[in-house]
């Protein structure tokens, strides 16, 4: 028995940082995925272990089922039909399970991913031998929601083999969960995210689960549906950021200059709302796709200026902005800033030659480029090995 | 008889562009001057001409008094004690007087300066032979108020020899006009500015006349007095701008995105008010000079982000920003943007070595740098040739 799941990454189209201060933000899925392949060994194989292979980071874990039962049967509820939170006590057991595996110092950041994996697996599927292989198109820790995609893809694969959801295993190709089941899946993924991030906003896993776009404000999420094709160049500056410090920096600036910063957050709120309106406006309206793209580009440029005003830009981000501006392409940072990733709108009529030129120039500065379609499918599952 | 006058240039500390949409702006004088030297020929010299020598652009004009009378006695009121506006008819006569001088095509932009000179001279001093030499520390057309400084310095020199003001010609060194006389001088200078610019705001000539700083909003000007020493590095990108097009661009963006742009203008208004408060706060308050400078730097950085949001930055400006940021110095464009000049705050404790390094790096990019003290004296006059 083999199942594959894939879950997309996300970008913040507008409103990062300002959202912490009550502004609207818009996030969208991208067609860069984390893939999970789960295989139950056949009885003839005589395997009695749970194996996790994180291919991109070159790490393999293996736990005997006996050891898992010993460590977790007291703290975890196997075959739980409702998502259960990992307690501090459970986390200790997970930590000891991961620590006893040979683990290179440099990859210590991966440990929390392994905790989340163990928690989700044993909670949903109990103590069953299996091999799980994970690969991803997404760079880790670059603000593209790689950890949420990991948790969503794992939850999708595990749930598909549980009794909590009903899927037609005979169907070919990528399948989508039912709406009601997606809600359950999203909650499980959120439990995984909590293990990895402590206090995640829930935006990343929601975008990865449902796909398309999400507008969020003061903790409430609204799913929105784009009516236009949207392509972005995503440039990873590879500059590591301290998200907490950046968020704190904006809050401190807000304390020092409350009046201007309040207006700045209001401006961002208006930009997110306008962007959301443009994206949802029916194609039949008297506004061409090119005009819509021009509006979006201008809104992105404006949002970037406001992010600079908040003090979260970075020399590497400015380099990307300058490079893309030479080709008259609008860009903005996405996520926490201070490095991380930059979005560049790729208009429909832009020639592939120009895109190739921009990418070449950005890569020669040491950056990593991805071309992504925005607002596509959320998590999907496949039983027949055809994908 | 010889008189010298000098009038300072200006910078916009905050609020450019937004001021057009009702926000507060703050302008200040800089210790870069336009110098005017006026000499009446002695009777033995037997000179019967009015000569204007614009040293920086290498242009010399000479009009016979007879020709001036012929062209202007019908349209101009010589020895006028109240500032008189130049009518369209008068402008035609001025234009013919300037056109008949040999005038290189490339320097055609200077013509309006010669019109203003002729208008101010003949209106204030009538048809008297004289030689006027003008030099300036200020780059032309870079947004540092060179034309206003020209008109203010000319008005100061001319008025000092008229019956409209009373000055003690026996005093040594630079003299300042009385408050009531400065008002008259400022009005004359404004008439000159109108000839050069059509519809000037009156800010440049007011700053050049009174010096120090001016807060302005919706056409009303308030003089403010700084209590702190303030030094700026002024970098002229030498990129020519079309101020009208830039102003129109912001207005168009405002029409397209009224909600966010209104918030952006509100943010700028708050920044200008806060900057004005910091600058005027008494030194005895519980805030050190370094803290004040840090506040100003942060407000400048925020204002720059908002200007980028309005779309008036330029690659050359970004280059200056990046260079100064490497030295942790806060910068913003000043004036119309799209090129022009960039301000960089030079904190009191910054070593001269660092300033020299920054200047060297900026100059190696082809920019022109000035170090200026902000908020000094306005127009001054000197009779004894000691300055």
Give ipTM to 2 decimals. 0.89
Nearest CA to A62 among A109, A108, A97? A97
Per the structure, the complete domain to which residue A110 belongs is given by 2-225+376-382
In sequence order, the 6+-apart residues with CB closer than 8 A to the CB of B283 are B227, B228, B289
**What count of other Cβ atoms lies within 10 Å of the Cβ of residue B271?**
31
A216 and A250: one domain? Answer: no
In the predicted model, residues of chain A with pLDDT beneath 70 are: 284-286, 385-387
The DSSP symbol for B22 reads T
B217 touches chain A (CB under 8 A): no
Q: Which residue has the tokens 């991805």?
A: A370
Contact B263 A267 (CB under 8 A): yes
* CATH number for position A178: 3.30.230.10
Q: What percent of chain A has pLDDT over 70?
A: 98
Q: Give a yes or no: residue A123 inside a domain.
A: yes
Nearest CA to A157 among A296, A238, A38? A38
A349 and A238: one domain? Answer: yes
In sequence order, the 6+-apart residues with CB closer than 8 A to the CB of A351 are none
| CA dist B373 → A250, B10, B230, B358, B365 (Å) | 31, 11, 6, 17, 24
Mutation choice for A interface testing from B23, B258, B267 by most A CBs within 10 A: B267
Q: How many structural domains comprise chain A? A: 2
In sequence order, the 6+-apart residues with CB closer than 8 A to the CB of B46 are none
Q: Give a yes or no: residue A14 inside a domain.
A: yes
Helices of type H across chain A: 65-72, 88-99, 111-125, 146-160, 179-197, 203-210, 243-256, 258-280, 289-310, 315-326, 352-364
Chain-centroid distance, C-alpha B305 = 25
A294 touches chain B (CB under 8 A): no
B214 and B244: one domain? Answer: no
B127 and B238: one domain? Answer: no
Closest partner residue to B311 (CB to CB) among A269, A271, A301 is: A301
B245 and B213: one domain? Answer: no
A257 touches chain B (CB under 8 A): yes
A302 touches chain B (CB under 8 A): yes
B217 and B284: one domain? Answer: no
A300 and A196: one domain? Answer: no
Q: Give a yes or no: residue B290 inside a domain.
A: yes
* CATH number for position A281: 3.30.70.890
Give the whole-angstrom CA distance, residue A170 versus residue A340.
41
pLDDT, tens digit (0-9, with 9 covering 90-100), for B190-199: 999 999 988 8
Nearest CA to B278 among B262, B302, B261? B302
Size of interface A-B (CB pairs under 8 A): 109
Give the whole-angstrom CA distance, residue B159 versus residue B165.
7
In sequence order, the 6+-apart residues with CB closer than 8 A to the CB of A360 are none
B200 and B305: one domain? Answer: no
**Are A8 and A189 in contact, with CB atoms under 8 Å apart?**
no
Helices B146-160, B111-125: crossing angle, 10 deg rounding: 20
What is the model's pLDDT at position B108?
73
Contact B264 A267 (CB under 8 A): yes
Q: What are phi and psi of B238, to 5 degrees?
A: 65, 10
E strand or H helix that includes residue B156: helix B146-160
A83 and A178: one domain? Answer: yes
B310 and B205: one domain? Answer: no
Q: Give a yes or no: residue B387 inside a domain.
A: no
pLDDT, tens digit (0-9, with 9 covering 90-100), for A20-72: 999 999 999 999 999 999 999 988 888 899 999 999 999 999 999 999 999 99
- SS3 of residue A221 by DSSP: strand
E strand or H helix that includes residue A60: strand A59-64
Nearest CA to B236 among B56, B9, B59? B9
| CA dist A124 → A155, A162, A207, A297 (Å) | 8, 7, 22, 44
A93 touches chain B (CB under 8 A): no
Q: Give a yes or no: residue A387 inside a domain.
A: no
The CA R_g of chain B, rounded to the nearest whole Å, is: 21
**Are B23 and B265 in contact, with CB atoms under 8 Å apart?**
yes
SS (H, E, C) B250-262: HHHHHHHCHHHHH
What is the model's pLDDT at position B35?
98
Contact B309 A309 (CB under 8 A): yes
A209 and A267: one domain? Answer: no
Token pair for B359: 């200047």
What is the model's pLDDT at position A387?
53
B312 and B274: one domain? Answer: yes
Closest partner residue to A267 (CB to CB) among B267, B298, B301 is: B267
Closest partner residue to B267 (CB to CB) among A263, A274, A298 is: A263
In the predicted model, residues of chain B with pLDDT beneath 70 are: 284-286, 385-387
Q: Give a yes or no: residue B147 inside a domain.
A: yes
- SS3 of residue A11 by DSSP: strand
């Amino acid at each position: 028995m083999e199942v594959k799941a894939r879950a997309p990454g996300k970008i913040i189209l507008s409103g990062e940082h300002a959202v912490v201060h009550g502004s609207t933000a818009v996030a969208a899925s991208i067609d860069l995925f984390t893939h999970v392949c789960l295989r139950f060994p056949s009885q003839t194989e005589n395997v009695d272990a749970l194996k996790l292979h994180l291919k991109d980071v070159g790490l393999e874990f293996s736990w005997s089922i006996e050891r898992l039962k010993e460590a977790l049967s007291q703290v975890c509820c196997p075959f739980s039909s409702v998502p259960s939170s990992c307690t501090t006590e459970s986390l200790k057991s997970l930590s000891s399970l991961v620590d006893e595996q040979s683990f290179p110092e440099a990859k210590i950041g991966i440990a929390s991913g392994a905790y989340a994996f163990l928690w989700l697996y044993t909670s949903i599927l109990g103590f069953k031998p299996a091999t799980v292989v994970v690969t991803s198109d997404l760079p880790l820790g670059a603000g593209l929601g790689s950890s949420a995609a990991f948790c969503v893809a794992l939850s999708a694969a595990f749930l598909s083999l549980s009794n909590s959801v009903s899927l037609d295993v005979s169907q070919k190709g990528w399948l989508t969960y039912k709406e009601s089941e997606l809600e359950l899946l999203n909650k499980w993924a959120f439990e995984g995210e909590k293990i990895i991030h402590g206090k995640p906003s829930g935006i990343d896993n929601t975008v990865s689960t449902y796909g398309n776009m999400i507008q969020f404000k003061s903790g409430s999420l609204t799913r929105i549906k784009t009516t236009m094709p949207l392509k972005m160049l995503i440039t990873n500056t590879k500059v590591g950021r301290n998200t907490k410090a950046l968020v704190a920096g904006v809050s401190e600036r807000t304390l020092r200059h409350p009046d201007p910063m309040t207006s700045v957050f209001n401006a961002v709120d208006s930009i997110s709302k306008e962007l959301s309106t443009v994206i949802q406006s029916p194609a039949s309206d008297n506004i061409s796709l090119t005009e819509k793209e021009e509006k979006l580009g201008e809104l992105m440029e404006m949002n970037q200026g406001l992010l600079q005003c908040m003090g979260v830009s970075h020399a590497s981000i400015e380099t990307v902005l300058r490079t893309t501006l030479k080709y008259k392409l609008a860009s903005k940072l996405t996520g926490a800033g201070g490095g991380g990733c930059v979005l560049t709108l790729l208009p429909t009529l832009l020639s592939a030659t120009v895109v190739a030129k921009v990418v070449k120039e950005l890569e020669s500065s040491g950056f990593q480029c991805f071309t992504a379609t925005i607002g596509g499918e959320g998590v999907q599952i496949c039983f027949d090995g055809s994908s």
